[in-house]
Amino acid sequence: MSCRAGSERDLIEELASRRQRIDAWSPEPGLVVAPSVPRNGAGRVVVCFARQIFRVRTIVGVSEELLFGKVAKAATRDVSDDRPCAISCWTLDSPEGNRHARVATALERHVRAELPKLKEPHELRYTDGILLSALVLDRTRVIVGSVKAADALSLAPGGRARMKSPEGAPARSARKLEEAFQWLGHAPEAGEICVDLGAAPGGWTKVLLERRARVIAVDPGKLTPEIANDRRVRCFRGSAFNFEPEEPVDWLFCDMVWRPLEVAELLAKWGRRRWAQSLVANIKLPMKQKVAILARVDQTLEQGGWTDIRMRQLYHDRDEVTVTATRAG
């Protein structure tokens, strides 16, 4: 499993705390090795602090001159005639890993030339395809493996989904929401009503407007004038903890710099009172006990009536995780 450099301990602790109690270790910054992955009752892979997962087929460790050919040969072992296959060559998200980005690019070009039937990773979305991974550790070592597209945490190389903000978005937080929608697999449709808690200066509201949704923006601060003056936006200048919608809405969004358990209680209130159908929120992480706090957040949301609760530290998240859920019934 790959993760953000510095999050190895959090990922290892998370795996150990799961019902399956998976033992794991970190041989390199940004990399965690485990004998299996945690799954929920529906068979879905559930892991928060990992960027990408794949089953290791082999570790190619040869001279630089032989490396590309050996990797291409190793990759053919997982190529299927019955399923679409794609390959992703990538490096770890660490200072050392980033030094070898050019090697990964050249390697992918070589493997595609050797295996012309391979598709682009994004073409595997919603298929039963196989994503081949070639993780470049350095100029003489590559880990080769594969994962079913349905189990892949991301189709971006190593889970590093570099999103673009809509033109005119006033904050980089817009990228977080764009990535959340990509991970979730759906987003608000035209005309749907969204509440954006902690909206200022308007990064998430801008993303929602790009999808032609209607937005109730809640924040003590001001949105940028261009966004605030959009006819599809209603502004509520005040605390998110005091706001109550006049009627149920389609989506609840929340990106507030606030204590995680208090935010969880607020989101649970929305679930209990059936004020929203779908939820997307950023939960800010404490310095310590991240895994324990997230377990309490999950429990609080479940007690509030939210279902299908999912948590991931996405690429554009920093000291936070993205949470999605739907309301039961």
Active site residues: 284
Which residue has tokens 């209990």? 272
Cβ neighbours for 81, distance < 8 A, ≥ 6 positions apart = none
Structure tokens at 11: 């990922």
Which residue has tokens 């082999």? 58
Structure tokens at 225: 């004038």
Interior/surface letters 48-62, b for 16+ CB within 10 angstroms, e for the rest: bbbbbbbeebeebee
For residue 223, the one-letter residue type is: L
Structure tokens at 171: 């904050």
Cα dihedral 197, 200, 206, 207 sign: negative
Q: Residue 252: which of 312, 314, 323 has the closest Cα? A: 323
Which residue has tokens 């050996």? 70
Question: Would you state the torsion angle of the CA atoms of residues 298, 301, 307, 308, taken in this order, to the nearest 10 degrees?
Answer: -30
Distance, CA of 329 to CA of 280 (rounded, Å): 18
Structure tokens at 84: 């679409």
Q: What is the CA radius of gyration of the chain?
A: 21
